[in-house]
A and B are shown apart, each in its own frame.
Chain A
Amino acid sequence: MVSAPHLRVLLSDDHPIVRRGVRNILESTPEYEICGEAGDGDQTLQLAFRLHPDVIITDISMRPMNGLEVTQRLHTALPDAKVLILTMHDSVEMLRAAAAAGASGYLLKSDAEELLVSALHSLGEGHRFVSPSFDAKLVNQLFD
């Protein structure tokens, strides 16, 4: 059996308690290592340029610089890094904006406990991942 690839993850959310929650979920999966944590968009970019993570998990609502803007800049500057948006916004408009900014995944915070590991796995394999409550057809349109 081939072991899953080791992924370095940068975690970005303005709420330390939420970052703890994500850390807690990933603790039991040694293939995903959190290489850094950021509390706002500026810090996320700085750390991403320094640490070159494989995946950046980011919230949208952050100041200064929200997660979508961060995604757009990362997409241009570090095209190999995948961005997973982790948000409470259960909104098609936000999903559309995330896809347009170049995110590879969109996971609702309410799905995180169950699906975060699957989402990271998909991104690691070069696929996209979107919370299953969104219409699959729409997801295909937005992300292709």
Chain B
Amino acid sequence: MSNLKILIADDHDLVRKGLRMLIEEHPGWTVCAEARSGREAVEQATQTSPDIVVIDVSMPDLNGLEATRLLRKQCPKAEVLVITHHDSDEMAAEVLSAGARGYILKSDSDQELAHAVDALSRHRPYFTARVTEMFLANRARGTANQAESIRKRLTAREVEILQLLAEGKTAKEVAAALGIATKTSDTHRTNIMRKLDLHSIAELVRYAIRNKIVEP
């Protein structure tokens, strides 16, 4: 069996530990790196070229969905498996539109994760039966694209900045985190608030929580 390199990204130590244990039980599967945020996941992926990235949705700094979008661009060979405790139609649609080819819930069984990794290693998509049902029901109602609405209104960079601002960073701190000028980050903030018709940082935070860009 050829060697399969897997990157694990989750901000909880216990979950990373559990994932590592599950993965290492399989001959030929190795964990090439661990990351605690979406940004770290992208950095680690560009350095270690994993075959599969197993990534959580709710993470600080850069969430798993935005990280998935960057991963698809920067490491197109890596398949992305999203694991989340968010059990909703919107989330399933978001995960798909971000470019992940696998989506399982943290409450799913251990075997489900192994099946998903196995499928993705053959470049086949993997969704649990429940998620597939949810997605088909969604399509039938013609609402699957609803989740893309934020993406249509904001650029990827703006969503990234929206998350940092909602996490309590100032425009200056955002600038430092992204290596851009404070003035540029100020302009981004103004644009985000104008596009989303928000008038205060409190409103921006509420918006980010409602749209699951950050955790409450």
Contacts and interface: CB of A to CB of B under 8 A. Distances in A.
Contacts of B113: 17
Interface in A77-134: 88, 109-110, 112-113
Contact of A112 (B14, B19, B106): B14
B23 to A, nearest CB: 10
Contacts of B20: 24
Contacts of B14: 18, 21-22, 109, 112-113
B60 to A, nearest CB: 12
B48 to A, nearest CB: 22
A18 B18 contact: yes
A73 interface: no
A19 B18 contact: yes
B106 A15 contact: yes
A17 B18 contact: yes
Given A15-B85, A88-B12, A110-B12, A21 B106 contact: no
A16 B17 contact: no
Contacts of B18: 15-24
Contacts of B19: 17, 20-21
Interface centre among A14, A16, A17, A112 (most CB of B within 10 A): A17
Contact of B13 (A14, A23, A39, A110): A110
A109 B13 contact: yes
Nearest to A15: B106
- Give the interface size class of chain B: 10 to 19
B17 A25 contact: yes
Interface centre among B12, B85, B110 (most CB of A within 10 A): B12
Contact of A109 (B12, B108, B110): B12
Contacts of B22: 17, 20
Interface in B1-54: 12-22
Interface in A1-60: 14-25, 39
A124 B185 CA distance: 53
A21 B110 contact: no
B184 interface: no
Contacts of A112: 13-14
Interface centre among A15, A23, A110 (most CB of B within 10 A): A15
B109 to A, nearest CB: 6
Contacts of A113: 13-14, 17
Interface of B: 12-22, 83, 85, 106-110, 113
12 contacts: A15-B18, A17-B15, A18-B106, A20-B19, A20-B22, A20-B110, A23-B18, A23-B21, A25-B17, A109-B12, A110-B13, A112-B13
